[in-house]
C-alpha cells in the first residue's frame, strides 16, 4: 500500500518545503477534532513542534473540539492565552471571522478533514476564512487531506440559481471529487482572488482513484455523526434525509446508514433495484433529534460495491418510494435550516425544487435524475482546472 502523507504529516516529518510556511511565524489555526497527523498528534502540537507560534484557534461547525451537534451555535473563548474563536454561532454573520482576529497574525493555517460532499460545511468555513484573509492581507496556508470518496467520480448537479447556502456556498456537485485544497482553488478562481494569498501544502502519495481505505491513514471522526468511513460513503445521499421529517439516524450509532420513521412500511424500499448496496429492514430508537425515544421502522444501507454505489441517486430513489406514505403537509422539514428560512431544507440540499415537486406530484424521477447527471458531467469537466493530483 502506498503511504499517503497529508499536508500536516509533511510538517510533522520535517519536510523543508512545508516547514518554511509555518516555522517562526505567528499563526492562527482553523482545525477540528480530526486535525491530526498519522500518529494521531494534534495539528496544534505539530505546529508548535515545528516552530510556529499558535496564537489563535478557530473552530468550524461542531466547535474546535468537535463536541457540538449539528446546527448548534458555539461561542468564542477569548479569556485564555490562546483565544478560541467560533466560526459557527447563532447567526449567519458568525460564519465569517472578524477581520480584527486576523490582523496580528502572520498566517492562517487551515487543516480540516472533508468528506467529499457539498453539504459538509467545513469547506465553506475555509472558503469564508480565505475570503476575509484576502481582504486583510493575511496569508493562508492550506494543509491538504484526502477526499475519502476519491477524486474520480462526481454525482449530482451544482445548485441552481437562488439555492446557494451554507450546505453549498458555491455551485459544485453533491459528490464533487475534489480535495479541500482543490475546492479552495476552485473558489479562488470563481472569486478571482489573488491566489498568492493561498499557499498550499499538497499531499504525497495520494491519487484520484484512492478511497479512504487505500490511504493507510487512521479514521478520526471529523464530526459527531461521521463515526466511520462507511458513514462517509453514504453521506452524499444520506444527508438528503435531513430535508424530510424522516429520521436520518442521528441519535443512533449508524447515522445516515439507518433511516426511517415510526410506522414506515419499508416494503416499497425492498423492491427497488439498487446498485452496489443492499437494504436490511431494521427498527431503531433515536436518542435525540427527530422521533427521539420512539421506535422507527426503516432500513440500514449496506454498501456492497463502493465503485458501483451511487449514494445520491440511491437515496433519492429510496425517498421517492417512502415519502408518499406521509401526507403532503408532513413530508418536508420546515424549520430554519443552516440559517435559511425562506426555502425548504430539501431544496437547499438538492440544489433546487425539482426533486421535492416531483415527489409531491407522484411523478417519475427519471427526468430529475437525468438533469442531475447532465449537471454532474458538466461540473466534472470544469473542476479539472483545479486539480492538484492526476489519476
**CATH code for the domain in which residue 175 is found:** 3.40.50.12170
What does the pLDDT read at residue 111? 98
273: which 3 cell numbers?
Answer: 433495484
Polymer length in residues for the chain: 391
For residue 131, being part of any structural domain is answered with yes
Q: Specify whether the CB–CB gap between 346 and 356 falls below 8 A.
A: yes
User: Measured between alpha carbons, how far is residue 80 from residues 55, 77, 109, 375 in Å?
Assistant: 11, 7, 20, 48
Sheet containing 296-303: give its strands across.
258-261, 296-303, 277-284
**SS3 state at 234:** helix
**pLDDT digits (tens), the chain, 391 positions:** 568 999 999 999 999 999 999 999 999 999 999 999 999 999 999 999 999 999 999 999 988 876 666 656 566 566 568 999 999 988 999 999 999 999 999 999 999 999 999 999 999 999 999 999 999 999 999 999 999 999 999 999 999 999 999 999 999 999 999 999 999 999 999 998 887 889 999 999 999 999 999 999 999 999 999 999 999 999 999 999 999 999 999 999 999 999 999 999 999 999 999 999 999 999 999 999 999 999 999 999 999 999 999 999 999 999 999 999 998 889 999 999 999 999 999 999 999 999 999 999 999 999 999 999 999 999 999 999 999 998 7
The number of beta carbons lying within 10 Å of the beta carbon of residue 330 is 10
For residue 2, being part of any structural domain is answered with no
If asked whether residues 205 and 293 sit together in one domain, one would say: no
If asked whether residues 177 and 249 sit together in one domain, one would say: no
**Number of structural domains the chain divides into:** 2
What does the pLDDT read at residue 193? 85
If asked whether residues 206 and 237 sit together in one domain, one would say: no
The DSSP annotation for 165-233 comes to BTTBSS---SB----HHHHHHHHHHHHT--GGGEEEE--BS--TT--GGGT-PPP--SSTT--SHHHHH
Which of 316, 281, 317 minimizes the C-alpha distance to 302?
281
For residue 372, being part of any structural domain is answered with no
Q: Which domain holds residue 235?
A: 229-366
* Residue 80, C-beta contacts closer than 8 angstroms, at least 6 positions apart: none
What does the pLDDT read at residue 278? 97
Q: Specify whether the CB–CB gap between 276 and 292 falls below 8 A.
A: no
User: Measured between alpha carbons, how far is residue 2 from residues 114, 150, 152, 175, 210 in Å?
Assistant: 21, 15, 18, 24, 10
If asked whether residues 25 and 161 sit together in one domain, one would say: yes
Which of 263, 269, 233 minimizes the C-alpha distance to 247?
263
Residue with cell 448537479: 157
For residue 29, being part of any structural domain is answered with yes
Which of 101, 114, 100, 17 minimizes the C-alpha distance to 58?
101
What does the pLDDT read at residue 62? 83
If asked whether residues 179 and 244 sit together in one domain, one would say: no
If asked whether residues 212 and 274 sit together in one domain, one would say: no
CATH number of the structural domain spanning residue 274: 3.90.1150.140
DSSP strand pairing (198-201 vs 277-284): unpaired
What does the pLDDT read at residue 72? 61
For residue 223, being part of any structural domain is answered with no
User: What pairs with residue 332 in β-bridges?
Assistant: 244
Q: Report angle CA 18, 108, 73 to the nearest 5 degrees.
A: 130
What does the pLDDT read at residue 35? 97
Amino acid at each position: 500500500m502506498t503511504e499517503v502523507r497529508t499536508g500536516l504529516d509533511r510538517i510533522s516529518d520535517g519536510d523543508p518545503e512545508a516547514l518554511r510556511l509555518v516555522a517562526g511565524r505567528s499563526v492562527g489555526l482553523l482545525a477540528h477534532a480530526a486535525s491530526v497527523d498519522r500518529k494521531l498528534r494534534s495539528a496544534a502540537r505539530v505546529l508548535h513542534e515545528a516552530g510556529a507560534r499558535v496564537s489563535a484557534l478557530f473552530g468550524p461547525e461542531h466547535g474546535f473540539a468537535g463536541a457540538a451537534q449539528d446546527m448548534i451555535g458555539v461561542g468564542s473563548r477569548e479569556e485564555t492565552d490562546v483565544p478560541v474563536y467560533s466560526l459557527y454561532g447563532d447567526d449567519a454573520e458568525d460564519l465569517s471571522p472578524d477581520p480584527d482576529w486576523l490582523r496580528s497574525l502572520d498566517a492562517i493555517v487551515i487543516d480540516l478533514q472533508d468528506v467529499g460532499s457539498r453539504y459538509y460545511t467545513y469547506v465553506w468555513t475555509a472558503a469564508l476564512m480565505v475570503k476575509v484573509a484576502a481582504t486583510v492581507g493575511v496569508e493562508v496556508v492550506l494543509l491538504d487531506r484526502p477526499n475519502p470518496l476519491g477524486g474520480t467520480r462526481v454525482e449530482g448537479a451544482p445548485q441552481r440559481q437562488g439555492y446557494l447556502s451554507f450546505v453549498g456556498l458555491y455551485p459544485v456537485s453533491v459528490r464533487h471529487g475534489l480535495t479541500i485544497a482543490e475546492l479552495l482553488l476552485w473558489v479562488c478562481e470563481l472569486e478571482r482572488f489573488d491566489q498568492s494569498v493561498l499557499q498550499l501544502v499538497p499531499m504525497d502519495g495520494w491519487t484520484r482513484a484512492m478511497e479512504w481505505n487505500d490511504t493507510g491513514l487512521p479514521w478520526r471522526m471529523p464530526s459527531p455523526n461521521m463515526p466511520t468511513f462507511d458513514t462517509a460513503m453514504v453521506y452524499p445521499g444520506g444527508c438528503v434525509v435531513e430535508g424530510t421529517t424522516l429520521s436520518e439516524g442521528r441519535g443512533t450509532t449508524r447515522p445516515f446508514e439507518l433511516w426511517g420513521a415510526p410506522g414506515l412500511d419499508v416494503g416499497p424500499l425492498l423492491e427497488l433495484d439498487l446498485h452496489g448496496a443492499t437494504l436490511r429492514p431494521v427498527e431503531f430508537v433515536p436518542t435525540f433529534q427527530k422521533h427521539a425515544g420512539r421506535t422507527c421502522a426503516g432500513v440500514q444501507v449496506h454498501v456492497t460495491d463502493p465503485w458501483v454505489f451511487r449514494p445520491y441517486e440511491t437515496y433519492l430513489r429510496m425517498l421517492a418510494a417512502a415519502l408518499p406514505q406521509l401526507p403532503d403537509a408532513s413530508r418536508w422539514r420546515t424549520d430554519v435550516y443552516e440559517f435559511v428560512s425562506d426555502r425548504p431544507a430539501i431544496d437547499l440540499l438538492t440544489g433546487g425544487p425539482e426533486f421535492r415537486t416531483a415527489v409531491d406530484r407522484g411523478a417519475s424521477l427519471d427526468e430529475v435524475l437525468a438533469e442531475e447527471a447532465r449537471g454532474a458531467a458538466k461540473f466534472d469537466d470544469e473542476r479539472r482546472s483545479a486539480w492538484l493530483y492526476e489519476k
